[in-house]
Amino acid sequence: MTGQLDIVAQNVLWNRLISVCEEQANALMRAAFGAIVREAGDLSAGVFDANGDMLAQAVTGTPGHVNTMAASVRAMLEIVPPGGLATGDALVTNDPWLGAGHVFDFVVITPAFLDGKIIGYLASTSHIVDVGGRGWSAESSSVFEEGVIIPVMHLRRGNTLNEDMLRIVTTNSRVPHEARGDILSLLTSNDTGVARLLELMREYQLTDLKEVSEFIFEHSATGTKKALSRAPQGIYESVMQLDGYDAPIELRAKMTIGDGRIDVDLTGSSKAVNRGINCPLNYSAAYAAFGIRALLAPDIPNNQASLNAIRVVAQPGLVVSAEHPSPVTARHVIGQALPDLMLGCLEQALPGEVLAESSGALWTLSLSGAGAAQFTSLNVALGGMGARPTLDGLSTTAFPSGVGAVPIEAAEVAAPLIYHSKEFAPDTGGAGTYRGGLAQRMEVGSRIGEPMSMSAAAFERLTSGPAGRQGGGNGTEGRVSISDGTVIKDKGIYEIPAGERLILQTPGGGGFADPADRDRAAVKRDLSHGLITADAAQTDYKLDETQS
């Protein structure tokens, strides 16, 4: 039936391909052992054409996984060419510079064969909780300390698993059963995708994906060019400062908006540091592109053609373009700040149309114990999203990653922890005509009264909160402490003594426009719901006692 598909059938096929990816992602979530994948959706899944170009992605997933995977498949096929692949084969790597930016993320690709030839690939990425080294910590001075790195190789040949590779990973992992299970869940995910893709092709009597690929790429390229053209052509620059590790980090962007395309140069950002917060360029580019597309082209499906319209470069050796063997465990601290850096450029091009700054990087809560109950627990605490030009910011929402938190019940079942509280933190969203999203406050302790170790690698914005826009107030900065009075101000490793609790309060989102113009009914509603205090209502919004 190739060459005979009308535009309706092409669009149906396009949506069916997205459904294949979504079923692939759901299979991964069902099979995953780690709660961060199973419960929080820290993953990606996609279908690629025979050239290794991404056709569609699952709705479930993160930009840092999906957009890096768009380049990973081609890079892996350069190392193991398609001619060396057979039915049932699958390739794997966790090389940060080929995959998703750090050693915890494994990429698996599986070729789909039809009548003896490769017609496409299914690929998936997810987070493996522990692969050795220092674990989830930014303390390493090189990537060699961060865990075992698997070069591109076969995870499976035909029906035979590469048990040697799996033993290398499990021998180096503190949670070997979970590590093995998570890697195999990626394989299961892809197998599900392959089966569904072949069923779809047989249904439509297709012998290859060439025609639908051309349709998808042509329409995506045209739509993306039109969407990006909404921003006036010109050169725009933005600067952002982060806490960093031993010293503040500066991020710089020079954005050139042309005719239907955008080029970004991150040169001028701080140099790579001797701590694990560096970011490979592939991960930086993934999140920078997401920030641009989130504002200008949110309705254009994400695929190779829509991504090709945005180019991100940087001088090698910067914190945003770290080279091997720079340490990169907490690369998301830098990478997930880049959408706000991009929006800072776009605010100059489209003043008044850009949301305020958000809390940015996920606060990863990595707790471990080595006593009677050895465990490793990874969860996330979510901050506030920046207010939008016509709406309040979303509270405790992971923008830009889109990851959810592991539910308390699941976290407490998986490890001997108890979450004493998890609640909105009032007054944390920046004041504005539209209020910034609220942060959350959490208290976590050991359920069995033993000491714990915490890696604070990803606690960012502890010195200043996300900025407001158009006269809106800043969101509050984050706070971290231990109940014994210890205040945590850096990204080191901390011991939580027996009987003590870890106390977190994430950053709040920035506000948008003058707080004096906020609807009085909205202020009263926030006050009655406990989202702001009476003091904030009077001080920030000038709501007098007679109005309240």
Using CA atoms, how far apart are residues 100 and 39, in angstroms rounded to an integer? 20
**Residue (of 328, 273, 278) closest to 136 by Cα position:** 328
Domain limits, the chain = 7-208, 227-353, 355-517
Could you give the 3-state DSSP secondary structure of residue 406? coil
Strand partners, 434: 512
pLDDT at 2: 44
Tokens representing 498 are 């027996």
Predicted confidence (pLDDT) at residue 410 exceeds the cutoff of 60? yes
Predicted confidence (pLDDT) at residue 404 exceeds the cutoff of 80? yes
**Residue (of 314, 327, 317) closest to 274 by Cα position:** 327
Predicted confidence (pLDDT) at residue 546 exceeds the cutoff of 80? no
Mean pLDDT of the chain: 94
Instruction: Tell me the average pLDDT across 505-527.
Output: 97
More reliable by pLDDT, 326 or 129 = 326
Predicted confidence (pLDDT) at residue 358 exceeds the cutoff of 50? yes
Predicted confidence (pLDDT) at residue 391 exceeds the cutoff of 70? yes
Instruction: Tell me the average pLDDT across 13-28.
Output: 95
Predicted confidence (pLDDT) at residue 243 exceeds the cutoff of 90? yes
pLDDT level of residue 456 (50, 70, 90 thresholds): low
Q: What is the pLDDT of residues 275-330, one digit of tens each?
A: 999 999 999 999 999 999 999 999 999 999 999 999 999 999 999 999 999 999 99
Cis link prior to 316 (omega < 30° from 0)?
no
Q: 3-state SS string over 256-298?
A: EECCCCEEEECCCCCECCCCCCCCCHHHHHHHHHHHHHHHHCC
Residue 74 phi, psi dihedral angles, 5° rounding = -65, -40
Predicted confidence (pLDDT) at residue 375 exceeds the cutoff of 80? yes
Predicted confidence (pLDDT) at residue 34 exceeds the cutoff of 50? yes
Instruction: Tell me the average pLDDT across 112-140.
Output: 93
Q: What is the pLDDT of residues 256-268, one digit of tens each?
A: 999 999 999 999 9
Using CA atoms, how far apart are residues 47 and 118, in angstroms rounded to an integer? 13
Cis link prior to 298 (omega < 30° from 0)?
no
Q: Would you say 396 and 439 are in contact if contact means Cβ atoms under 8 Å apart?
A: yes
**Residue (of 153, 27, 151, 154) closest to 89 by Cα position:** 154
Predicted confidence (pLDDT) at residue 77 exceeds the cutoff of 70? yes
Q: Would you say 80 and 73 are in contact if contact means Cβ atoms under 8 Å apart?
A: no
Instruction: Tell me the average pLDDT across 111-125.
Output: 97
pTM of the model: 0.94
CA 34 to chain centre: 16
Predicted confidence (pLDDT) at residue 364 exceeds the cutoff of 80? yes
